[in-house]
Structures are given as C-alpha cells and as structure tokens.
Amino acid sequence: MIDFDILTNYSDLYLEGIVQTIYASVLALAGSFVLGVLIAIMRITPVRMLNVLGAAYVEFFRNIPLLLVVYLFFLGLPALGIVLDGFVSGTLGLMIYTSSYIAEAVRAGIQAVPKGQTEAARSSGLSYGQTMRAVILPQAIKIVIPPISNQFLNLVKNSSILSVVSGFDLMYFGDIVNSETYDTVSSYAFVAVFYLILTIPLSFASRTLERRLLRSG
C-alpha cells in the first residue's frame, strides 16, 4: 500500500527536488542547444580540422554512458584542481551528453535544406557564416524542433543522474525520504508520479508541435 502520509510529511523535500530538476533541465537544455548547433556547424564546415573535431566530439560523448560523463566533471576535474559541486557537475554532464545528440539532429536538419539555398546566398555576396546564420539555420531549426523536443524530454528523465553525485534533484530527495521512512515503495512511487507530471505535458506538447509543423509544411 502507498502511504500518503509520506507525501504530506515530506512535501517540502519533493517540491525542492522538482524545482531543482526543472532548473537543471532548463540550464542543460539551453547549453546543449547552443553547443549542439556549434558542433553541427563544425561537422559540415569546409574546414577539415573542424570536421574532425566535431565528429570526434559527437562520437566520443554519444558512445560513453551519461554517468561516466558526469563523473568526468565530479571526480575527474578535482585532479586538475577544479572542484565542482554535484549540481554543477550533473548539469554540465547532462549538457555535454545531450549536445552530442542535438548536434546530430541539427546536422541532419542543415543537410535537409536544399543546397540551392546555400548557393544562392553565397552568390549574393554573403559569407559562409552569414549564410549559415541568416539562411540555413533558421530553416534547419524548424526541421529539427520535434527531435530536439524529444531530447528535452529525455534530458528531464536523465536528470535523475544528479542524485548519484548529490545534485539535489528529485531522485536525490526521494533517496532521502526513503532513508528516513524505510518505505521504499511509497517513497519512489511519489518520485515516479512527479516525473510523470513533468514529462507527460512535455510529451504531449512535443507531439502537438510536430503535428503543427507537419501541417504547415
């Protein structure tokens, strides 16, 4: 049976966890989007060295576990004299990890824009950077909004990784409630409910946005 007294007695902890989860997710999404766009441009730029660096970034971070990425910040950087708390380490790990997926989505969006758009812009006297910023990226971003929305949904769920490094997220406070009540089922059942409250509206919004974009062509 679910003990609803736990929700009443520990509502402040759950609420703080929800706020911190949203905060970390929004920060990581903003950072991963900007970084992902930059990496995507590196992957399709005419400069060979940037191509290689962009490809190496994507292949490295997409093919190692998210937990390891977080540990690189939380446990690896102190060896270099840089100490980050759990929240910052977890958020940076989420940002770097997610950016590698966003980079691939944006790259696919850029490549889906007809090449004639680039040729027309360059023949009009625009530089490569101006062409990307003013002509190609606005069209590419519209194409990749649905997959980026899905990445945001995954990012919210992946934010539970912060609990491993004491990142004060929803799962972290769920662990605290469990350690004080010894009611594992109830403690984590409420955590699951709160994650659903966060993710179901995002999933619905993502599907609605995708349908609208398809109707608009």
Asked if 44 and 114 count as a contact pair (C-beta separation under 8 A), the reply is: no
pTM of the model: 0.90
| Integer-rounded Cα radius of gyration of the chain | 21
The answer to whether 16 and 87 have CB atoms below 8 angstroms apart is no
Q: Which superfamily, per CATH, for 4-216?
A: MetI-like (1.10.3720.10)
- pLDDT at position 217: 58
- What's the confidence (pLDDT) of residue 212? 80
- The pLDDT, as a whole number, for residue 14 is 97
Quick one: pLDDT at residue 198?
Answer: 94
Residues 137/147, Cβ–Cβ less than 8 Å: no
Residue type, 144: V
- Burial of 82-104, coded b for 16+ CB within 10 Å and e otherwise, reads eebebbbbbbbbbbbbbbbbbbb
Helix (H, G, I), strand (E, B) or coil at 217: coil
Domain ranges of the chain: 4-216
Q: Which residues of the chain have pLDDT under 50?
A: none
What six digits make up the tokens of 35?
């970084």
Return the closest-CA partner of residue 106 out of 140, 132, 151, 63.
140
Q: How far apart are the first and last CA of the chain?
A: 50
Digit-coded pLDDT (tens) for 64-102: 999 999 999 999 999 999 999 999 999 999 999 999 999
